[in-house]
Amino acid sequence: MIKRWLITGCSNGLGRALAERLAAEGDQVLATARRPETLDDLAARFPGSLRTAELDVRDPDQCRSAVDRALAAFGGIDILVNNAAYGQFGALEEVSDAQLAAQFDTNVFGSWRLTRAILPSWRTQGGGHAIFVSSVAGLVAFPGLAAYNASKFALEGAAETLAVEAAHLGVKVTILQPGGFATGYSAALSAPSERIDAYAPIMDGAFEAMSNMNSNPAINSPELFAEVVWRVSRMPSPPLRLPIGLDAEAMLKSAYADRLDEFDKVIAARQHTDG
């Protein structure tokens, strides 16, 4: 069955790989990017299934226009993929208010705006599927990514709440938690507004690790991401959360175990104190 998609952040990386895979499968795709000319080659290769639109998710008018374009072109939207995001580097003290606001405006508020714009059509048609591209950083804290971590934690909270609020409307929600992928993420990290020497022993190592991420021979490929999302889109009951990549599975499993262990210790200590 052909699905109708609206995908954000398609100029490169995960969004581009997904748009290409879906168009090749014959689905109808509105691939969006801040610079839509980066998608001209895909539009030329898949003239019958892929269309493009300019979309900066920080712009409410462009969010509404993208939804309207997809509805007019396809007669409806079955799946929204909130993928547009970037990483702000820096320790918590090094990141300015403006940088923090910009990080949330793209990674959280953009997804919120677009989902809110699409929900009226889903209420009318009796459902839809909202896919939020989070990260292992939506659960695991990484030094140097305080703002990014905070945005992904917030994104997952909003998405999980939507799943509870809109299930009776036929709306499905999936939170994707990718591990390390061969994309331009690390190269596009924004530098903090200031460098504080006291954090250098941690920040320098963290930045080097992220900068060298793509050289890891075991890093996940964007094609794996596209394959997983395509399969999820065909599930009658897709999962709420889904790790993507063996590294993601290992990191998340360890994080859950650590949190449960800490929880058990706190409860045991409280019971001992109460007793």
Nearest to 189 by CA among 260, 85, 57: 85
Query: Phi and psi at residue 139, in whole multiples of 5°?
Result: -135, -35
Query: Within the chain, what is the greatest distance between any pair of CA atoms?
Result: 72
d(CA 84, CA 216): 24
Of the candidates 49, 148, 172, 185, the residue annotated as catalytic is: 148
d(CA 14, CA 33): 12
Q: Which pair of tokens denotes residue 33?
A: 């990017």
Of the candidates 11, 134, 135, 233, the residue annotated as catalytic is: 134
199 annotated active-site: no
Q: What share of the chain is helix, strand, coil (3-state, %, to 5)?
A: 60, 15, 25
Q: Helical H runs in the chain?
A: 13-25, 40-45, 60-74, 97-104, 110-125, 146-166, 200-211, 222-233, 246-274
Query: Phi and psi at residue 143, in whole multiples of 5°?
Result: -60, 140
121 annotated active-site: no
Of the candidates 3, 152, 185, 233, the residue annotated as catalytic is: 152
Give catalytic residues, as residue numbers. 134, 148, 152
